[in-house]
């Protein structure tokens, strides 16, 4: 990756009159801000349809787009909705927080109105989209239709015949739920139609989209239901073991994610076709793919099912270079960033060196405790440096709660002047280090503190809700970022 700078901001965090950010006008406006700020990367959180808990890392499909991100104003312009149908609904009271309950209760209702109106329009592009994406779309649309008919229960709780995908059951539900299936296909058609336009706009500004690919899929997903052979499951669909990570500084009992683990022996026998198809699909969404929890390709943490926490897990060898060699043979070179954080065993640096993928460095981890480090530990080209990620508290929240000695240490290693704002001192240090790429969260750029954190790992509820105010991405901030970008050689302008 060339020397560059970027910003981390979830699409859901963009301003919008409809309770959650979308890939419409405000997304383009933010891309314009990035251009003015000398940025060439926009890092996103996963854009798949979210399930229970609203986490973008627990999606109903690894291929589908989140219907929440469809821009409703565009549907009005296309004659599929009226302004009154949108303005009459309660999208939430706080413009800087997503109210997911209200979004869930209203978003699908208006999309179904749009779907009914769409039936009278030209279907040529829609039919082409359905044909082109039939391999995953058929399973996803059927999954969502069946799931909706059973009050959104997980497929593990469905009647045995459809749970186990008996051919006669599949045919029966396809007939019974044909209109619901068509609706879910329509929602995906509109998402990808809008995404293609959004990505083209961003790319035309010279900005790349860095998308986040969760290494695991959700147990409650079309992927698991339709491809049980890919995962470590019993014959009845229950997991043999699940994913997570051991106790660390985030949690004394570890993190029990609950995702099914891959059957890497089976995947090797199929030349990793399932994974190659997944990477190929994400390459159609993003210019750069950041693979979350990359370390699990070297060795993954396996927690016996069921379990109350992640204490009793064990490390098991992953596929390592066999997977990436197979993928490169099928797909060629794909631009990937590896999230190589967490508990690092010797096999991680070895795999990173073999792949050549850039890893990640997080400044805030080095400000306190035994993990303190000097800047020379970040003195490497092939990495992406962050003050903090979506899983960390924003810098100004850390500053509010940190010990005086840790604050003094942070100021010292960043060589801050007494009157320099703490967040800008850290940003300046990230920009000035050798790392090829520096990515800063929008919360840190804005100097926001408590109430703006995106996610607190191992804590259920209250996450993923922060939104940026309508006037936050100002011309003044763009100029300040541009100056840093030019001074640090991260912008050619």
| 381 catalytically annotated | no
In a domain, residue 363? The reply is: no
| Whether residues 408 and 439 fall in one domain | no
Alpha helices in 93-152 (DSSP H): 100-118, 124-132, 134-149
Percent of the chain whose pLDDT exceeds 90: 89
| 448-457 pLDDT per residue, tens | 999 999 999 8
| Whole-number pLDDT of residue 238 | 92
Confidence band, pLDDT 50/70/90 cuts, at residue 147:
very high
| Whole-number pLDDT of residue 148 | 97
| Whole-number pLDDT of residue 376 | 58
Between CA 240 and CA 54, with CA 154 as vertex, the angle to 5 degrees is: 100
In a domain, residue 466? The reply is: yes
More confident of the two residues 77 and 257: 77
CATH of the domain at 154: 3.20.20.80
| Whole-number pLDDT of residue 377 | 61
Selecting among 54, 139, 292, 393, the annotated active-site residue is: 292
| 91-131 pLDDT per residue, tens | 999 999 999 999 999 999 999 999 999 999 999 999 999 99
Mean pLDDT over 199-205 rounds to 98
Q: DSSP states of 11-71 as a string?
A: GGGS--TTSS--SSHHHHHHHHHHHHTT--EEE----SPB-TT--TTSBS-SSPPPGGGS-
H and E: helices and strands count for the chain:
19, 12
Selecting among 26, 180, 212, 339, the annotated active-site residue is: 339
Confidence band, pLDDT 50/70/90 cuts, at residue 458:
confident
Percent of the chain whose pLDDT exceeds 70: 97
| Whole-number pLDDT of residue 457 | 83
* Structure tokens, 225: 């239901």
In angstroms, the CA 172 to CA 175 distance is: 5
163 by Cβ neighbours in 10 Å (0-12 / 13-18 / 19+) ranks as middle
| Whole-number pLDDT of residue 207 | 98
| 300-337 pLDDT per residue, tens | 999 999 999 999 999 999 999 999 999 999 999 999 99
| Whole-number pLDDT of residue 370 | 65
| Whether residues 25 and 151 fall in one domain | yes
| Whether residues 269 and 201 fall in one domain | no
Between CA 350 and CA 161, with CA 241 as vertex, the angle to 5 degrees is: 130
Domain count, the chain: 3
| Whether residues 491 and 423 fall in one domain | no
The answer to whether 154 and 148 are in contact (CB under 8 A) is no
| Whether residues 99 and 196 fall in one domain | yes
| Whether residues 24 and 135 fall in one domain | yes
| Whether residues 198 and 293 fall in one domain | no
Q: DSSP states of 300-337 as a string?
A: EEEEESS-SSSTT-EEEE--THHHHHHHHHHH----EE
In a domain, residue 392? The reply is: no
In a domain, residue 343? The reply is: yes
In a domain, residue 364? The reply is: no
The answer to whether 17 and 91 are in contact (CB under 8 A) is yes
Alpha-carbon distances, residue 110 vs 97, 130, 205, 240, 456 (angstroms): 21, 22, 32, 40, 32
Q: Look up the domain containing 305 and give its range.
A: 227-358
Computed over every residue of the chain, the mean pLDDT equals 94
SS3 8: strand
Nearest CA among 415, 432, 417, 421 for reference residue 394: 421
- Model confidence at 202: pLDDT above 70: yes
| Whether residues 159 and 245 fall in one domain | no
In a domain, residue 399? The reply is: no
| Whole-number pLDDT of residue 378 | 64
Tokens 């045919």, residue located: 171
| Whether residues 175 and 97 fall in one domain | yes
| Whole-number pLDDT of residue 300 | 95
| Whether residues 76 and 194 fall in one domain | yes
Q: Which of 77-81, 167-171, 340-344 has the lowest mean pLDDT?
A: 340-344
More confident of the two residues 385 and 461: 385
In angstroms, the CA 353 to CA 186 distance is: 43
| Whether residues 65 and 11 fall in one domain | yes
Mean pLDDT over 207-222 rounds to 96
In a domain, residue 218? The reply is: no
| 78 catalytically annotated | no
| 391 catalytically annotated | yes
| Whole-number pLDDT of residue 302 | 97
Mean pLDDT over 273-299 rounds to 96
In a domain, residue 135? The reply is: yes
| Whether residues 131 and 190 fall in one domain | yes
Confidence band, pLDDT 50/70/90 cuts, at residue 344:
confident
Among 304, 328, 358, give the residue marking a domain's end: 358
| Whole-number pLDDT of residue 492 | 75
- Model confidence at 228: pLDDT above 90: yes
Among 434, 449, 475, give the residue marking a domain's end: 434
Among 298, 327, 358, give the residue marking a domain's end: 358
In angstroms, the CA 365 to CA 61 distance is: 32
Mean pLDDT over 81-87 rounds to 97
88-95 contact pairs (CB < 8 A, 24+): 91/17, 91/18, 91/19, 91/20, 92/19, 95/15, 95/467, 95/469, 95/470
Neighbours of 303 (CB within 10 A): 25
Confidence band, pLDDT 50/70/90 cuts, at residue 255:
confident
- Model confidence at 374: pLDDT above 60: no
Selecting among 391, 406, 420, 480, the annotated active-site residue is: 391
- Model confidence at 375: pLDDT above 70: no
């Amino acid at each position: 990756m060339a020397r560059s700078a970027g910003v981390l901001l979830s699409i859901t965090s963009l301003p919008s009159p409809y309770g959650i950010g979308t890939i419409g006008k405000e997304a383009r406006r933010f891309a314009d801000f990035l251009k003015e700020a000398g940025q060439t990367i926009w890092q996103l959180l996963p854009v798949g349809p979210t399930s229970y808990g609203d986490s973008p890392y627990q999606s109903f499909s690894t291929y589908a787009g989140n219907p929440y991100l469809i821009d409703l104003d565009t549907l009005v312009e296309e004659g599929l909705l009226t302004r009154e149908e949108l303005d009459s609904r309660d999208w939430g009271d706080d413009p800087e927080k997503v109210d997911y309950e209200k979004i869930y209760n209203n978003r699908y209702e208006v999309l179904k109105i749009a779907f009914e109106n769409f039936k009278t329009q030209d279907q040529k592009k829609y039919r082409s989209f359905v044909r082109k994406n039939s391999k995953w779309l058929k399973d996803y649309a059927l999954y969502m239709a069946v799931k909706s008919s059973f009050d959104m229960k997980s497929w593990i709780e469905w009647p045995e015949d459809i749970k186990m995908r008996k051919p006669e059951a599949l045919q029966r539900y396809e007939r019974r739920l044909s209109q619901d299936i068509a609706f879910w296909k329509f929602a995906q058609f509109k998402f990808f139609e809008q995404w293609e336009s959004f990505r083209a706009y961003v790319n035309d500004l010279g900005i790349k989209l860095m998308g986040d690919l969760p290494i695991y899929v959700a147990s409650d997903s079309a992927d698991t239901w339709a491809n049980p052979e890919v995962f470590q499951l019993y014959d009845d669909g229950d997991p043999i073991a699940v994913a997570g990570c051991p106790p660390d500084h985030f949690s004394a009992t570890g993190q029990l994610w609950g995702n099914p683990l891959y059957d890497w022996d089976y995947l090797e026998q199929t030349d990793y076709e399932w994974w190659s198809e997944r990477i190929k699909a994400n390459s159609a969404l993003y210019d750069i793919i950041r693979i979350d929890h990359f370390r699990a390709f070297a060795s993954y943490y396996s927690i016996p099912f069921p379990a109350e926490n992640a204490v009793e897990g064990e490390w098991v060898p992953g596929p390592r270079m066999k997977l990436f060699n197979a993928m490169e043979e099928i797909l060629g070179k794909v631009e990937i960033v590896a999230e190589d954080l967490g508990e690092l065993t010797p096999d991680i640096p070895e795999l990173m060196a073999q792949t050549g993928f850039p890893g990640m460095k997080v400044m805030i981890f080095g400000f306190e405790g035994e993990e303190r480090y000097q800047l020379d530990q970040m003195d490497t080209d092939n990495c992406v440096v962050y003050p903090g990620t979506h899983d960390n508290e924003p810098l100004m929240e850390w500053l509010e709660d940190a010990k005086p000695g840790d604050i003094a240490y942070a100021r010292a290693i960043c060589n801050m002047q007494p009157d320099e704002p703490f967040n800008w001192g850290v940003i300046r240090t990230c920009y000035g280090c050798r790392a090829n790429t520096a990515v800063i969260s929008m919360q840190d750029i804005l100097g926001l503190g408590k109430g703006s954190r995106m996610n607190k790992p191992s804590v259920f509820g209250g996450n993923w809700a922060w939104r940026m105010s309508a006037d936050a991405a100002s011309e003044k901030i763009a100029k300040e970022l541009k100056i840093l970008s030019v001074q640090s050689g991260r912008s050619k302008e």
